[in-house]
């Protein structure tokens, strides 16, 4: 096959894969994918890559297509990856679910669970926080398109490599070791089930009863492989599948513009971001929403701040402005100044915004919040390079300042779409 023909069939293959499961194979994947095909030619006795691609894109090649998808979706994962999100689950999300629900049933979907480490981590986190007994029924469903992954997940057996960074006490309590292999204990395993599932096309099938009344969806480090149209469709489906006031947890590098249609509200807690269903969706809500928790532990300060934040999120800007003027005209509270600055951005009063920024810098010249606000202003003014530098500065000063990651992801995603067009 000459180079021109090779490129044509690779393009045909990438279009088919994207339509089938949503995964976008870039040109950088060309060599890896063709290497996979080469190995499969030996196994299947198909004589050429052209024939192989024609075979798996045909109905008769469904079994081989499954094997091919398994090979291109092998992923890296481990227990308690991004542990702050599991802290948010037990410290914030579950208490909110318990407060809301009369019927003590909990359903969590771990979408794109790979070989099950994330799904079992959810169950372990709940048990470790003594939350099993808080519910009459707990269902944790892990799903993945890769049948090899699901087979491994169902076995509940893992190598030491899956535990890097995990405390030994957790391994000793929740796993039994035999010849270097670690098996999950039955008390945790019985709360978990696994399914082969295509996140792009299977969500709309009526026979997927497990997708009803979901309280929490984990979908981490999955949608980063999809283009924006597919991402938006998946997120809309998540919104439909989650109960009102349900929660969505994404990977830190996955911050699609889910606020564009105001389906989810970002919440910062336990040094991470989670997303709560905005029910019903408010189509007038601004994109630049940030939920910052006060850095101090003063109860009165916290209550006033929460009141201010709620006024902001419900767009009652006049009351919020009056509250600031009444209690915080000379405030040195960076959280209050940050909210004030973002409100000024929404009014397109950039002069006042920079006044708040200067005040924040006078309190703390290394404030990540101030750089974040500058980034928002530069975005509004279409000064992309300056906004990127501002967000990068805030991350340099505080690597856990995830709203800057959020905005940077939006910028890079827009640039990627522009280059495609």
pTM value is: 0.63
Looking at the fold, whether 141 and 59 belong to one and the same domain comes out as no
Residue 172 is part of a domain; what is its CATH number?
Answer: 3.40.50.150
Split at pLDDT 50, 70, 90, the class of 297 is very low
Whole-angstrom CA distances from 192 to 91, 108, 125, 175 are 21, 10, 13, 15
Residue 218 within any structural domain of the chain: yes
Residue 251 within any structural domain of the chain: yes
pLDDT at 207: 60
pLDDT digits (tens, 9 = 90+) for 152-184: 999 999 999 999 889 999 999 999 999 999 999
Residue in the structure block whose two tokens are 């398109």: 145
Whole-angstrom CA distances from 352 to 63, 314, 344 are 62, 22, 6
pLDDT digits (tens, 9 = 90+) for 302-350: 555 556 666 655 556 667 777 777 666 677 777 778 777 877 777 678 8
Looking at the fold, whether 164 and 265 belong to one and the same domain comes out as yes
Looking at the fold, whether 247 and 100 belong to one and the same domain comes out as yes
Residue 293 within any structural domain of the chain: no
pLDDT at 261: 62
Residue 288 within any structural domain of the chain: no
Domain that residue 89 falls in? 83-277
Looking at the fold, whether 362 and 342 belong to one and the same domain comes out as yes
Q: Is 96 helix (H, G, I), strand (E, B) or coil?
A: helix
Residue 204 within any structural domain of the chain: yes
pLDDT at 79: 95
Residue 392 burial (CB < 10 Å; 0-12/13-18/19+)?
middle
pLDDT digits (tens, 9 = 90+) for 397-418: 887 777 788 788 878 766 654 4
Residue 289 within any structural domain of the chain: no
**Spatial contact of 308 and 296, defined as CB atoms under 8 Å apart:** no
Number of domains into which the chain is organized:
3
Structure tokens at 138: 């707990």
Residue in the structure block whose two tokens are 């902001």: 312
Q: Is the pLDDT of residue 204 over 70?
A: no
Residue 392 within any structural domain of the chain: yes
Looking at the fold, whether 129 and 260 belong to one and the same domain comes out as yes
Looking at the fold, whether 93 and 64 belong to one and the same domain comes out as no
Looking at the fold, whether 68 and 88 belong to one and the same domain comes out as no
pLDDT at 111: 95
Residue 378 within any structural domain of the chain: yes
Residue 353 is part of a domain; what is its CATH number?
Answer: 1.25.40.10
pLDDT at 280: 66
pLDDT digits (tens, 9 = 90+) for 34-57: 888 888 898 888 888 888 888 888
Strands (E), 134-189: 137-144, 157-159, 175-178, 181-184
């Amino acid at each position: 096959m000459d180079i021109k023909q090779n490129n044509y069939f690779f393009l045909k293959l990438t279009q088919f894969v994207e339509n089938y499961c949503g995964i976008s194979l870039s040109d950088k994947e060309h060599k890896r994918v063709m290497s996979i095909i080469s190995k499969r030619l030996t196994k299947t006795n198909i004589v050429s890559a052209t024939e192989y691609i024609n075979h798996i894109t045909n109905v008769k090649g469904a079994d081989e297509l499954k094997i091919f998808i398994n090979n291109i979706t092998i992923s890296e994962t481990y227990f308690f990856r991004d542990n702050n999100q599991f802290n948010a689950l037990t410290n914030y999300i579950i208490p909110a679910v318990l407060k809301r629900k009369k019927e003590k049933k909990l359903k969590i979907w771990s979408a794109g669970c790979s070989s099950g480490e994330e799904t079992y981590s959810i169950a372990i986190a709940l048990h470790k926080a003594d939350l099993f007994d808080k519910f009459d029924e707990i269902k944790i469903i892990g799903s993945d398109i890769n049948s090899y992954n699901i087979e491994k997940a169902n076995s509940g057996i893992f190598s030491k490599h899956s535990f890097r960074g995990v405390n030994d006490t957790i391994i000793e309590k929740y796993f039994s070791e035999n010849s270097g292999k670690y098996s999950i204990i039955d008390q945790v395993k019985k709360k978990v089930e696994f399914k082969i599932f295509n996140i792009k096309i299977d969500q709309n099938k009526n026979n997927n009863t497990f997708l009803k009344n979901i309280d929490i969806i984990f979908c981490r480090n999955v949608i980063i492989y999809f283009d924006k149209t597919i991402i938006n469709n998946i997120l809309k489906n998540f919104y439909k599948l989650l109960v009102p006031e349900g929660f969505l947890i994404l990977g830190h590098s996955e911050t699609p513009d889910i606020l564009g249609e105001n389906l989810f509200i970002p919440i910062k807690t336990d040094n991470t971001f989670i997303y709560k269903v905005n029910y019903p969706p408010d189509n007038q809500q601004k994109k630049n929403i940030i939920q910052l928790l006060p850095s101090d532990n003063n109860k009165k300060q916290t209550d006033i701040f929460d009141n201010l934040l709620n006024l902001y999120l419900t767009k009652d800007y006049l009351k919020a402005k009056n509250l600031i003027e009444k209690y915080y005209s000379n405030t040195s509270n960076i959280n209050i100044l940050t909210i004030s600055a973002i409100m000024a951005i929404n009014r397109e009063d950039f002069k006042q915004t920079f006044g708040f920024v200067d005040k924040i810098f006078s309190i703390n010249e290394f404030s990540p919040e101030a750089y974040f606000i500058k980034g928002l202003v530069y975005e509004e003014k279409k000064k992309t390079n300056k906004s990127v530098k501002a967000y990068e500065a805030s991350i340099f000063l505080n690597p856990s300042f995830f709203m800057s990651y959020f905005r940077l992801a939006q910028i890079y995603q827009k640039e990627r779409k522009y280059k495609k067009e």
